[in-house]
Amino acid sequence: MWLGPYPTVLITNPEHVKEIFTKNYLYQKQTHPNPFAKLLAQGLVLVEEDKWAKHRKIINPAFHVEKLKHMLPAFYTSCSEMISKWEDIVSKETSYELDVWPHLQIMTSEVISRTAFGSSYEEGRIVFELQQEQAEHIMDISRSIYIPGSRFLPTKRNKRMLEIEKQVQTTIRHIIDKRLRAMEGGETSKDDLLGILLESNMKEIEQHGSKDFGLTTTEVIEECKLFYFAGQETTSVLLVWTMILLCLHPEWQVRAREEVLQVFGNEKPDLEGLSRLKIVTMILYEALRLFPPLPVFSRMNKEEVKLGEMHLPSGVILIIPAIFIHYDKEIWGEDAKEFKPERFSEGVSKATKGRVSFIPFGWGPRICIGQNFAMMEAKMAITMILQKFSFELSPSYTHAPFAVVTIHPQYGPYPIVLITDPEHVKEIFTKNYGYQKQAHPNPFAKLLAIGIALLEEDKWAKHRKIINPAFHVEKLKHMLPAFYQSCSEMISKWEDIVPKETSYELDVWPDLQLMTGEVISRTAFGSSYEEGRIVFELQKEQAEYVIDITRSVYIPGTRFLPTKRNKRMLEIEKQVQTTIRRIIDKRSRAMEAGEPSKNDLLGILLESNMKEIEQHGSKDFGMTTIELIEECKLFYFAGQEATSVLLIWTLILLSLHPEWQVRAREEVLQVFENEKPNLEGLSRLKIMTMILHETLRLFPPVPTYRRRNKHEVRLGELSLPAGVLLFIPTVLIHYDKEIWGEDVKEFKPERFSEGVSKATQGRVSFIPFGWGPRICIGQNFAMLEAKMAIAMILQKFSFELSPSYTHAPVAIITTQPQYGAPLLMRKL
């Protein structure tokens, strides 16, 4: 798939995750595209290579367990203050509803203020409050598109953000300067994070005799800012999800409390005792597994690499979804979604079977430097809470985890939910009025087509009703000659190129794209084919512009700039509109004069539209000429794309599995011999149908569907507020071992031997064309065309993969072979 201009790969294989996290010099972090983000912190987490190694070496001593034990008093004081507040609020002998989330956020921030700056705690507190305000501004800004240069505008917010940054820098610099003067005067360094950091930095400079080996004051300031943001976020979310899970599973709350009271009674927790809390540790690990602080890690490979079987050019975004890996049933078992701390009873290594599949703090050289700090603080807090309180969920609690930076228990403005449960998929696709498609945020995309695929509700229903007749099987049989003619032209071309009695390397991908384009031109416009061909050429050029543009961030207003590309795109749109309008007007006049409509898509569409208007006595019930033009444009784009990718992956798979190529050819020759394929014969090609279905499973044309719920809904056990973005990843559903079996990644057409329903066990888990009322209207068209093309190719050629073929599926709009498909073709 693509994120803006970058190809993106989802990484869930633990071996690949291990390699990426281990080779941190090769797979590097990405900087945030919005420069405002730098105001929050630019410390260790964002530097790379030698600079990262230098920072890590200097900061490491601050997080050694030996140093952390000196910070326990700060943990204890901050937790005590929060618990005292709760004791004042909660009356004896009765329960009291309390939203603990803001309290935990304040408590963890107090910990950071005390541990980072010790005796300078009050100044540290001011820094934290300023950083908290800065974070709110940045979160808000980073959710919208950044317009280059807008940070220099003298807006109220921009001025406030720069003011905060200046104040934070000044305050921390003042603390640092004071500490440095004291250290130079012979005072011992403090046991707070800043003191340890400054001491380590000074030692590094003295050891090498050069300031180049140490951190500058500005870099120390950035590390202090990072302590605040990362330290407070991670621990507060770990604590809140742990408390929620202990509410949902009171038996574990009881077990944890018994352990705490056995170790400490009601006394103050100490380091030795905290390290003996086995049950509490298991609970914290399981909370981190179910609610990892960072739901996703992203990296970008610096140079071209081979990762497992994948060849990746430089600059690929690698998404490592911790949440997927933590819920993987292969690793964690069938109970992966359940809260079962006992899975960690023998430690992390045993629970993960030695695989890199538990990554709440990352892994490898760049594993979060503060993980011991976070775990110790969390143990202290949970221990002290369990000593004083029991707790359960209030009826007013709504479960809605949301990823801001970490996963918070709150609704956010742009929540996203990944849908893989077939029952949920079925409900979303069935209730198309409640779960609607999203318009592309970039207005340039509308130039390609805004037909039925993008309409909603009554307008969608009207268009669907009028277009439906054009795709009935009865009408499609009249289009077989167009399929045959276009395929014949392509095959004749191949016969001229490929010599007899020897194989010849041919990249078939461009030819298949051209052939499917010819099919659309003929079936859409019939006798007006030549004009239709012009439209196709123009739409193809337009698609290239639109795809290129939609990979980058759209800056509002740029479509009105008189650039060369903008002018060309508007020129194409005008030419396409004029050409199609001319064909429509000519047809409409002929039909009004009594001529029968043509059996091409446009003819059937115009006839259906006219009937609808006449039946209701009003043009409101039909489509306007502009709407008809948009539907014609959509025929071109969707019709050509879906079939060309189905054909190319089928040929590649039949090259990889010659035994299925042989079986398919035998079936074709048995039904047609070397004669022209017909509708009745094509419908009898059982093996061919199985092969096409299996190809669509392994390489679905649309890798992901997106919907947004219009109103607040309940989807299974999920309560969703209005406006949640629902991702239905076809690829993940088609590769689900629970549905398809252990051989899910293998090409096995026999799984469809008894049809789709039997293969999916009646579940909505085969969705190459979508499902429900909005299932792709052209699926019968695509399947019939594909059967015709594959049958005719098998009649004339055998083929295998060329050694120059590189397997690199890439999702542009559909899933395409990035480097083409060179096959070794041999005449039969």
Is beta strand 317-321 parallel, antiparallel or unpaired with respect to 6-10?
A: parallel
Question: What's 117's DSSP letter?
Answer: H
**Nearest 5°: CA angle at 712, between 709 and 717?**
90
Q: Which residues, including other chains, have CB under 8 Å from residue 742's CB and lie 6 or more apart?
A: none
Q: How many Å apart are CA 59 and CA 220, to the nearest integer?
A: 10
Residue 638 one-letter amino acid: A
**Where on the phi/psi map is residue 716: left (φ > 0), alpha (ψ -120 to 50), or beta?**
left
Instruction: Tell me which residue of 526, 708, 512 sits closest to 635, measured CA to CA.
Output: 526
The number of angstroms, rounded, from the C-alpha of 597 to the middle of its chain's C-alpha atoms is 46
Contact between 664 and 794 under an 8 Å Cβ cutoff? The reply is yes
Q: How many Å apart are CA 388 and CA 86, to the nearest integer?
A: 10
Q: How many Å apart are CA 640 and CA 533, to the nearest integer?
A: 13
In the sheet with 704-709, reading across from the earlier edge strand, the strands are 416-418, 725-729, 704-709, 435-436
Q: How many residues does the chain have?
A: 828
Whether residue 224 is annotated as binding a ligand: the answer is: no
Encoding tokens for residue 603?
A: 């003819």
Question: What's 361's DSSP letter?
Answer: T
Encoding tokens for residue 395?
A: 């009826």
Instruction: Tell me which residue of 464, 456, 434 sits closest to 726, measured CA to CA.
Output: 434
Whose tokens are 């610096």? That residue is 302
Q: DSSP string covering 607-620, please?
A: HHHHHHHHHHTSGG
Whose tokens are 């009105």? That residue is 560
Encoding tokens for residue 75?
A: 């943990």
What φ, ψ does residue 677 adopt, rounded to 5°?
A: -65, 145
3-state secondary structure of 308: coil
Question: What's 453's DSSP letter?
Answer: G
**Nearest 5°: CA angle at 493, between 490 and 498?**
120
What percent of the residues of the chain are helix, what percent strand, and what percent coil, each to the nearest 5? Answer: 60, 10, 30
Residues of each annotated binding site for heme: 368
Q: Which residues are annotated as a binding site?
A: 368
